Amino acid sequence: MPSLETDSLQGQLSRRTFHRTGVAWLLGHWMPGAWAQDVRPAQILTVRGPIAASEAGVALVHEHVLVDFVGADRVSPKRYDAEEVFRTVLPYLQQVRKLGCRTFFDCTPAYLGRAPALLQRLAQASGLYIITNTGYYGAVKGKYLPPHAHAESAEQLAKRWLREWREGIEETNIRPGFIKIGVDAGPLTPVNRKLVEAAGYTHLASGLTIAAHTGDGLAAWEEIQLLSKLGVHPSALIWVHAQNEKDESWHLRAADAGAWIEFDGVRPETVERHVQLVMRMRERGHLERVLLSHDAGWYEVGRPGGGKFRPYDTIFTALIPALRKAGLTQNEIDQLLTRNPAEAMQIRIRGRQ
């Protein structure tokens, strides 16, 4: 495993330091009591309202309905026909519902095509619990960030995201159920570090889990360090796209710290690799830190008919049978697809004491 000098993850944040950062003011300003409006601990906030985490059932924690890579200055719902998207995507959601999925986390962030009203319609029509997000995508060297993301402080960005959590996204009353950010490979750039810090502040004020598109293991470890210094426990962080890191010692290191390790990108040609990743984590006693998903869908704005839409079915039709063949029990499969997502995504402030 690459060497990296790190401070201890234990006890890095004193109450005095916490107040000096100004986070205490941020929390007090944005938290009317313990939780915003009707959301309580051990709940998941869907586009149709909160549910108990215990009701989430089998969950896909990282999928997409729609994406638009035109850039933050041009992205707009006016660029696509919402009715066409609805008709295209609904059969895929209905299919995965029949396969046993109950809960679906849409990971398209703001300025990349996030569409909460469309998700709400699809949730009602499909019978799925669907969750949207707040946060910004700073990967690809910040190509998809709005100008204010470069100019504002982490605290100012957190205020924007907390406003969505408290009041609803844009002109809707639909609120985010988690935080989605994106960073490149480490060492993290200043703007990427700022996004991680903003996510940490937002978590401390809301209890929303941080799902971080992360370039590599070094970046994941830097995220853990940054959040820990703010007083956020690593269990508030999901390392998204962890399967892209070939050095599996980083997976073990992050799991040892308490972070969630997400092996997404499941497709027919990756099933063998995903089985190997899961079994490796099982061997080291970390199955309870693993999350699985497809990172599929992707109605891509600007392409005829949305381009080639990838269904959300491979986990059910190929990966689960392959995991059973490799020796996983039904209880362990339930751990991966039901209990782990419920624990990872429930709204709960995970702070260091």
Q: What are the pLDDT digits (tens) for 289-300? A: 999 999 999 999
Percent of the chain predicted with pLDDT > 70: 89
Predicted pLDDT of residue 352: 78
Tell me which of 40 and 258 has the higher pLDDT.
258
Secondary structure E strands in 5-102:
43-46, 49-52, 59-67
Tell me which of 105 and 11 has the higher pLDDT.
105
State the residue range of the domain holding 210: 15-345
| Residue the block writes with tokens 């986390």 | 105
- Phi and psi at residue 119, in whole multiples of 5°? -60, -35
Residue 245 domain-assigned?
Answer: yes
Residue 220 domain-assigned?
Answer: yes
Burial class (CB in 10 A: 0-12, 13-18, 19+), 331: exposed
Radius of gyration of the chain (CA): 19
Q: What is the CATH number of the domain that holds 87?
A: 3.20.20.140
Predicted pLDDT of residue 15: 36
Residue 223 domain-assigned?
Answer: yes
pTM of the model: 0.91
In this structure, what DSSP letter does residue 351 have? B
Sign of the dihedral defined by the CA atoms of residues 222, 228, 230, 232, in that order:
positive
Residue 36 domain-assigned?
Answer: yes
Least confident of 30-34, 77-81, 84-88: 30-34
- Phi and psi at residue 280, in whole multiples of 5°? -65, -45
Tell me which of 5 and 158 has the higher pLDDT.
158
User: Whole-angstrom Cα distance, residue 292 to residue 241?
Assistant: 10
Tell me which of 8 and 294 has the higher pLDDT.
294
Across the chain, mean pLDDT equals: 91
Residue 60 domain-assigned?
Answer: yes
Q: What are the pLDDT digits (tens) for 318-351? A: 999 999 999 999 999 999 999 999 999 999 999 9
Q: What are the pLDDT digits (tens) for 137-181? A: 999 999 999 999 999 999 999 999 999 999 999 999 999 999 999
pLDDT higher than 50, residue 268: yes
Please state the rounded mean pLDDT for residues 69-95: 97
Residue 8 domain-assigned?
Answer: no
Cα dist from 143 to 63, 73, 137, 146, 150, whole Å: 21, 10, 9, 9, 11
50 has which bridge partners? 45
Predicted pLDDT of residue 10: 35
**pLDDT band at residue 39, thresholds of 50, 70 and 90?**
confident
Overall domain count for the chain: 1
Residue 65 domain-assigned?
Answer: yes
Residue 282 domain-assigned?
Answer: yes
Percent of the chain predicted with pLDDT > 90: 88
User: Whole-angstrom Cα distance, residue 163 to residue 166?
Assistant: 5
